[in-house]
Structure 1
């Protein structure tokens, strides 16, 4: 058995965050068992804005020569028009499906090479479930890597049950003002924090495509851990109509926590400034790769920070300037959008920066709070480092993440739970969060000792989960044994 190499094919969604998470779990598998070898098939994104970043990232990984992990960038089909949210939703799944032929050819070529191991299965991103059909052609099982949390996984499957089997009008429900009992949540979930995509028929159809395919896989690996989402995981495990769920997290890329990485990115002055600040005294404001605000909201954030009196590091990004790019950038001079005199008044108290080395900041002992857009990776990072969060969700499932953290688990405080940012039509963003509301949230964030205690406690549990003997460590071991069993079964046939 020791000489058998089980070959796995990983297919992440075409986004830097999804690819990074996929690479981290791939590294986890090959480091745990010498018999595993992994090929990551990279789909280029349909928009040109993030393509160069993905290519640069993959090239850097290839240079590092990660043992028993290889990368193949698939040919890029012509991207369909995705000028707005409707065209994106109707085209994205077709775009992923169009790459099935490339995956089929690459896998066939891999398996024909001398010395290759036996194909043990596919591991696909939750947005790449159409690749199940290709795995079936090779007579191997598919596992999904679900890069969000277990409660949201349960919600997606619950919505599909409502729509397909109970004939509920999910769109009307989402747009109502009520609360709904969802099996993966202990507390009723307000419809105001429902996944924003469900507000339209096109969005619901998009969600249902992926939810239905989830039920066809052998297992679902979730980037969470049992001690964090005990109820959600137990509710999923108790449902015989859901594939086996393995909590394998937190899966994090922590390499950015070193000062050397921050220095290479031009943020050494921020780290030096943090070095001179008292322990847990600084609040970090960072809103993810797509996080940016118009000038009116920027001024309210600035006023809220001044009113709070707390030290801060603020990652302030400029909204996309034209239709060709949907990605925020850095200001040459942030003073053009900040209140007059703000930078002078807060000199020595705070730092306004552009792109932020988020992991390096959260890892620093001076940081005591994090105002976040509530992307799941960001929340896991904050928990890992024991830094409490104030929630400011923007899009996708972030409102549900915020609800889970604040109301369900008591691990965060609220600035907003139902804030929503329209990425495709910025002019539609009319809600402004006022300075007083921001000040109140920051004060609670930095002064609520009970939330701080609970976050420190779950931080210790997150590290124990992935350590030898931990719950996620055991789940990964079970998955590896399952991969090896797949090889044994095919050899005995």
Structure 2
């Protein structure tokens, strides 16, 4: 399905396709901002998304994104299912990678018909690199995070070769990566902790794919991260002799307004009634999913603290379709919402982070 916002153009512009995972606002919002930046340079942009058949919330968010970005076109690939070779019980991150891989045949068909001048892929859509190569389309990666995360990803195969242990087993042993401060091994991202996990394998593959791309576009600027930038451009993050991809810093990309449309998010109205700098904002991003036990522990800690709070909560993994949206009490300790109603607010899945952090009632996050 294609949402065509662009008006008729008698002088066709070169088309750039940006490919991003559905159901992840933290990735789709900067993707749209990158698209707007390219449009401002005289290019035509279509954002292509892919996801699984159960991404209802992602579809709702996409509708708002389309309405708020009239200069962009959007195309949704058909819903995909996990490939048969994917083992059960893989992490959320691994599922996002694999749903994108499952959508590659439909992406190939779309690219053949669209004939873009360039393809830009989110790192979760890394399996699409070979589609771009097959069709002769220059393909770039887009990192929505930071330059340091690019440096670490490029260096991960080197770390992998230096030890036979998992990060989880190394515990507090410091991991050294060019351009980054030392990191305790067990503080690495959960998807990387187990050496033989499906998700760690996918991130190792991503490192190689980055090196084979035309370059990495990153949502940051060199002056913010000079050490990580210097490490990458000096080829310190890759094996000797392996190509280092060009680095293109285009951020930070900040959207001017919320994509929920003209309607102001209800949590902002609640913040209007709170004292200045009195509210703690808890928001853990698209991947910030905690188990049911951990969610209850966070809730208990908030209640015990007596602190005013605004909490953007994502359902525990596997619970998305087991609880109705209005049954929030089942996620928290019994009576939590009632006892904290005068000083706390819970919103499900997503909150307008920029507006929340700019609000005078928020004192920390």
Please tell me the TM-score bracket, short chain as reference. Answer: 0.7 to 0.9
* Greater helix fraction, Structure 1 or Structure 2: 1
- TM (norm. structure 1) is 0.60
Instruction: Find the residue that maps to 2:166 and give its secondary structure.
Output: helix
2:82·2:102 contact (CA, 8 Å) conserved in 1? no
One of 347, 352, 365 as aligned partner of 1:354: 347
Query: In structure 2, what is the Cα distance between the partners aligned to 1:319 and 1:343?
Result: 21
**2:33 match:** 24
1:37 corresponds to 2:44: yes
Residue 368 (structure 1) aligns with: 363
Q: 1:192 aligns with which of 181, 186, 192?
A: 186
The number of aligned residues is 341
Q: Does 1:276 align with 2:276?
A: no
Distance 2:96 2:261 in 1: 38
Query: How big is each residue's C-alpha offset from its partner over 1:325-349, in whole Å with a ceiling of 9 and x where there is no partner?
Result: 47987554639944668844x564x
Q: Counterparts of 1:309 and 1:121 in 2: how far apart (Å)?
A: 52
Task: State the 1:127 CA deviation.
Answer: 2.1
Give the equivalent residue in structure 2 for 1:49.
Answer: 54
Deviation at 1:195, TM superposition (A): 2.6
Distance (whole Å) between structure 1 residues aligned to residue 91 and residue 295 of structure 2: 28
Give the corresponding residue for 1:146.
143
Structure 2: stretches of 5+ with no match in the other structure: 1-10, 237-242
2:325 and 2:293 mapped to 1: Cα distance?
A: 14
Q: CA deviation at 1:7?
A: 1.5
Aligned to 1:13: 21
- How far apart are 1:137 and its partner, in Å? 3.4
Change (3 A) 1:133 1:174: same
Following superposition, the deviation at residue 10 of structure 1 comes to 1.3
Q: Which has the larger radius of gyration?
A: 1
> In structure 2, how many angstroms separate the alpha carbons of the residues matched to 1:161 and 1:296?
34
CA contact (8 A) 2:295 2:331 kept: no
Secondary structure at 1:175 match in 2? helix
> Equivalent residue for 2:8?
none
Aligned residue in 2 for 1:243? 245
Q: Deviations over 1:78-102 (max 9, x none)?
A: 4336674448788765653443333
Q: 1:180 aligns with which of 154, 175, 180?
A: 175
Q: Which runs of 5+ in 1 are unaligned?
A: 112-118, 371-493
Residues of 2 paired with 1:88 and 1:347: CA distance? 31
Match of 2:220 in 1: 224
TM-score between the two structures when normalised by the length of structure 2: 0.78
2:163 pairs, out of 165, 169, 184, with 169
Match of 1:72 in 2: 75
2:289 pairs with 1:294:
no
Whole-angstrom distance in 2 between the partners of 1:75 and 1:259? 25
1:378-437 per-residue CA deviation (whole Å, 9 max, x = no partner) reads: xxxxxxxxxxxxxxxxxxxxxxxxxxxxxxxxxxxxxxxxxxxxxxxxxxxxxxxxxxxx
1:282-336 residue CA offsets vs partner (Å, 9 max, x unmatched):
21223345545536753x54554455443323345654675xx479875546399
Q: Give the structure 2 partner of residue 105 of structure 1.
A: 109
1:266-345 alignment runs, 5 A limit: 267=266, 270-289=267-286, 291-292=289-290, 294=292, 298=296, 300-302=297-299, 304-305=301-302, 308-315=305-312, 319=316, 325=320, 330=325, 332=327, 334=329, 337-338=332-333, 343-344=338-339
Alignment RMSD (CA, Å): 3.5
For 1:320 and 1:92, how far apart are their aligned partners in 2? 13
Query: Helix, strand or coil: the match of 1:261?
Result: coil
The answer (yes or no) to whether the contact 2:299–2:332 under 8 Å persists in 1 is: no
Match of 2:240 in 1: none
Task: Pick closer, same or farther for the CA change 1:201–1:327 going to 2, 3 Å.
Answer: farther
